[in-house]
C-alpha cells in the first residue's frame, strides 16, 4: 500500500480521439459542463452558439474549426478527479495524438453516426491496440439521419476488430430521434434539443411492458424498442468489466454531443468502470503506480501558450509518487537536478498553480529549453519510460527567409516550434540550409502562420524531392565519414547533431542499405534517448 493510494484511486486520465469533425471537441465541452468547470458549452462550428470551444485556444484553431494541438483539462465529477486530453483529429497531427495516447489510461472514441468508421479512426485504434488501452465508444450525431444502428455496430466491430457492448440504445435517428434507453439503469431519457444539462427529461421505466412507453413514444416506436432491447440483451447480456479493462470489449453509447444528449450516461459509466492510473514499463524495470518515489515523463511541449509571454510549457504525466512544487527532481537525460516554482494544472488556457500532483495527473512545467519529448524526471533513480515514438517525416521543405532582418527571430521560432514535436528540423551537412520535415502538409501552414504571428518572421517553403529521412549510425567511424562525404547532398543533421540520410526514393534507400552493410539505418529516433 502506498501513502498515496487514496489519491491514486480518485483519478482517471483519458483522451478523446476521433476522425476530424466527428464531434470530439464538442463532447469535451459537455464534459466540462457536467464537471461544473464552465457555465455554457462552446461549439467548434455553430451559428447559434457564439462561444468558441474552451479546448481550442490557438487563433488558427478558431479560424479553421479544427483542433491542431492536444489540450489538457482537469475537472471534478462525483468525487473523482478527471484529467481529460482533447487530441487533434486531423491526420497531419497524428503524431501529437499518438504521443498523447502514451500518457493516458483509457480512451473515448467518438464515431459520427452519419459517416461511420473513417480512416483516421482505424489508425488511432491501432495505436490503442498496441497498448491494449481500454476504449469506450460514443456514437455521435444521432439527431442526424445516419446509418442503421445495427449496421453501424457491425461495421465498427468489423473495421476496428473489437467486440462492442451497447450500454444505451437509441430510439430512431435523424428528425425522428426520440431519445435513448439506458440498458444498465433501465430508464428512458427523452430527447429535447437544448444545450443545458438537465434531469427533468428522464423517465424511469423499470418495466418495458408498461403502458407509459406507448404514451411517450407512440405504439410503433414502443414495439421497436422492446424488440431491440430483447435482441441486444439476448446477444450481449451484462458487461464484463474485466474484458473492457483488457481492451477486448468496448461499451457503446449513443447520443448527440451538441445537444448534450447521452453524454451524462456515458460519463457516469466512465467514472464507474474506467481504469485508474496503472504501472508502466521503463528501461530498467516495470514501475508500479503505488511506489512512493516520484517519477514522470514529458509527452508534449507547447510553445507560446500565452501569446503575451514567450513561454514554453512541457506537459508531464506523473507515473508514481508525489510531485511537489519547489522540490528538486532528477532530470535523467541531462543528469542534473531541476525544480519548478510554478507548476500548473490546466483548463485549456486557464491555468492554476498547484502545490502537489499525484499519479495520473498532467502537470504543466515552464521550460527554458531543458526538455524534449520523452524526457523522464525521477527522485534520483536512473531510468526512462519506453515506448514514446518519434517518426520519420515524409514531406520535406527548405525554409527560405523572406526578411533577412528577422533572422534571429526565425531561428528561435524554428527551434521552439520543432521542439514541440510537430515537425523536425534538419540542417544541411556542412552548410546552413534549414530543412523541415513533417508528417502532413497542414503542418507547414501552421508553422508558417505561427512563425509570422508569434515571432514576426515571414518565410516561404520550397518543396524538396526527398521521400524519407533515416538516422544513420555505424560502429566503423571511417565508413560513416566516407558515406557522408560521398553523399553530402543527401546528408543533414538533426537538432542534436545526429546524422540523417535523406533518401530520394525507396529504390535509392534500398540500394544504399545494400551497398553499405556497415551502416545502420533507423526509422524512428528512439535510439537517441
| φ, ψ (nearest 5 deg) of residue 329 | -125, 160
* In a shared domain, residues 330 and 402: no
- Asked whether residue 216 falls in the same domain as residue 302, the answer is no
- What CATH number does the domain containing 409 carry? 3.30.70.3280
Contacting residues for 264 by C-beta, under 8 A, at least 6 apart: 34, 197
Q: Which three cell numbers stand for residue 228?
A: 431491440
Could you list the residue range(s) of the whole structural domain that residue 14 is in?
5-273
Residues 288 and 208 in one domain: no
The verdict on 16 and 47 lying in the same domain is yes
Cut 0.85: pTM above it: no
Q: What is the pLDDT along the chain (529 residues), one digit of tens a residue?
A: 567 788 888 888 888 887 777 777 778 777 777 766 544 434 444 333 334 444 444 454 444 444 444 567 777 888 888 888 877 645 555 566 777 788 888 898 888 888 888 877 887 787 777 778 899 998 888 777 777 778 888 888 888 888 888 888 877 766 777 777 777 766 677 766 554 445 445 566 666 666 677 777 777 777 777 777 777 777 777 778 888 888 888 888 888 777 777 788 888 888 888 888 888 878 888 888 888 888 888 888 776 544 555 567 788 888 888 888 888 888 888 888 888 888 877 654 456 777 888 888 888 888 777 787 788 888 878 887 776 666 667 789 999 988 888 889 888 888 877 776 667 888 888 788 889 888 777 778 878 888 888 788 888 989 988 888 888 888 888 988 888 888 888 888 887 788 888 888 889 888 988 888 888 887 765 544 4
Answer yes or no: do 262 and 332 share one domain: no
Last residue of a domain, one of 228, 252, 273: 273
- Domain count of the chain? 3
Same structural domain, 467 and 360: no
What's the Cα-to-Cα distance from 287 to each of 280, 291, 299, 385, 388, rounded to whole Å? 5, 8, 17, 9, 16
Q: Tell me: do 225 and 292 sit in the same domain.
A: no
Instruction: Tell me whether residue 383 is in a domain.
Output: no
295 and 257 within one domain: no
Domain end point (choices 319, 343, 378): 378
388, part of any domain:
no
Q: Which residues, listed in sequence order, are joined to residue 397 by a DSSP beta bridge?
A: 436, 463
Run of H or E residues at 316: strand 312-320
Task: Identify whether 384 is part of a domain.
Answer: no
169 and 308 housed in the same domain: no
Same domain, 197 and 330: no
Residues 49 and 125 in one domain: yes
143/260 same-domain check: yes
Q: How far is CA 187 from CA 181, 184, 208, 252, in A?
A: 6, 8, 9, 16
Question: 244, 273, 302: which is the final residue of a domain?
Answer: 273
Amino acid at each position: 500500500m502506498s501513502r498515496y493510494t487514496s489519491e491514486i484511486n480518485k483519478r482517471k486520465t483519458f483522451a478523446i480521439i476521433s476522425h476530424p469533425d466527428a464531434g470530439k471537441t464538442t463532447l469535451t465541452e459537455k464534459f466540462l459542463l457536467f464537471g461544473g468547470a464552465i457555465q455554457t458549452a462552446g461549439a467548434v462550428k455553430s451559428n447559434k452558439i457564439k462561444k468558441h470551444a474552451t479546448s481550442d485556444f490557438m487563433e488558427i484553431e478558431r479560424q479553421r474549426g479544427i483542433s491542431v494541438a492536444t489540450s489538457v483539462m482537469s475537472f471534478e465529477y462525483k468525487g473523482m478527479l478527471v484529467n481529460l486530453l482533447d487530441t487533434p483529429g486531423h491526420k497531419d497531427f497524428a503524431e501529437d495524438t499518438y504521443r498523447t495516447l502514451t500518457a493516458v489510461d483509457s480512451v473515448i472514441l467518438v464515431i459520427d453516426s452519419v459517416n461511420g468508421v473513417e480512416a483516421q479512426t482505424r489508425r488511432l485504434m491501432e495505436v490503442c491496440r498496441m497498448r491494449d488501452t481500454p476504449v469506450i465508444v460514443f456514437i455521435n450525431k444521432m439527431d442526424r439521419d445516419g446509418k442503421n444502428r445495427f449496421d453501424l455496430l457491425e461495421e465498427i466491430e468489423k473495421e476496428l476488430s473489437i467486440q462492442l457492448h451497447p450500454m444505451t440504445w437509441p430510439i430512431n435517428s435523424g428528425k425522428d430521434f426520440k431519445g435513448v434507453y439506458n440498458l444498465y439503469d433501465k430508464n428512458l431519457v427523452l430527447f429535447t434539443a437544448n444545450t443545458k444539462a438537465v434531469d427533468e427529461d428522464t423517465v424511469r421505466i423499470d418495466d418495458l411492458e408498461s403502458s407509459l412507453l406507448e404514451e411517450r413514444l407512440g405504439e410503433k416506436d414502443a414495439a421497436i424498442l422492446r424488440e431491440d432491447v430483447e435482441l441486444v440483451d439476448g446477444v450481449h447480456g451484462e458487461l464484463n468489466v474485466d474484458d473492457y479493462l483488457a481492451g477486448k470489449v468496448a461499451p457503446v453509447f449513443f447520443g448527440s454531443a451538441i445537444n448534450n444528449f447521452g453524454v451524462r450516461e456515458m460519463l457516469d459509466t466512465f467514472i464507474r468502470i474506467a481504469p485508474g492510473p496503472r504501472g508502466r514499463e521503463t528501461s530498467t524495470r516495470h514501475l508500479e503506480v503505488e511506489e512512493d518515489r516520484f517519477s514522470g515523463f514529458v509527452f508534449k511541449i507547447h510553445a507560446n501558450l500565452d501569446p503575451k509571454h514567450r513561454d514554453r510549457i512541457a506537459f508531464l504525466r506523473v507515473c508514481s509518487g508525489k510531485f511537489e512544487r519547489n522540490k528538486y527532481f532528477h532530470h535523467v537525460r541531462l543528469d542534473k537536478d531541476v525544480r519548478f516554482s510554478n507548476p500548473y494544472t490546466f483548463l485549456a488556457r486557464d491555468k492554476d498553480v498547484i502545490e502537489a500532483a499525484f499519479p495520473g495527473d498532467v502537470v504543466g512545467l515552464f521550460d527554458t529549453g531543458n526538455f524534449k519529448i520523452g524526457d523522464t524526471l525521477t527522485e534520483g533513480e536512473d531510468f526512462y519510460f519506453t515506448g514514446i515514438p518519434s517518426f520519420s517525416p515524409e514531406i520535406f521543405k527548405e525554409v527560405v527567409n523572406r526578411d533577412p532582418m528577422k533572422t534571429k527571430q526565425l531561428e528561435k521560432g524554428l527551434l521552439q516550434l520543432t521542439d514541440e514535436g510537430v515537425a523536425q528540423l534538419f540542417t544541411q551537412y556542412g552548410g546552413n540550409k534549414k530543412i523541415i520535415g513533417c508528417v502532413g502538409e497542414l503542418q507547414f501552414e501552421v508553422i508558417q502562420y505561427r512563425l509570422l504571428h508569434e515571432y514576426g518572421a515571414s518565410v516561404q517553403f520550397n518543396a524538396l524531392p526527398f521521400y524519407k529521412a533515416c538516422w544513420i549510425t555505424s560502429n566503423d567511424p571511417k565508413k560513416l565519414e566516407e558515406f557522408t562525404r560521398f553523399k553530402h547532398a543527401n546528408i543533414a543533421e538533426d537538432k542534436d547533431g545526429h546524422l540523417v540520410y535523406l533518401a530520394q526514393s525507396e529504390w535509392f534507400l534500398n540500394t544504399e542499405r545494400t551497398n553499405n552493410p556497415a551502416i545502420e539505418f533507423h526509422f524512428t529516433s528512439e535510439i537517441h534517448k
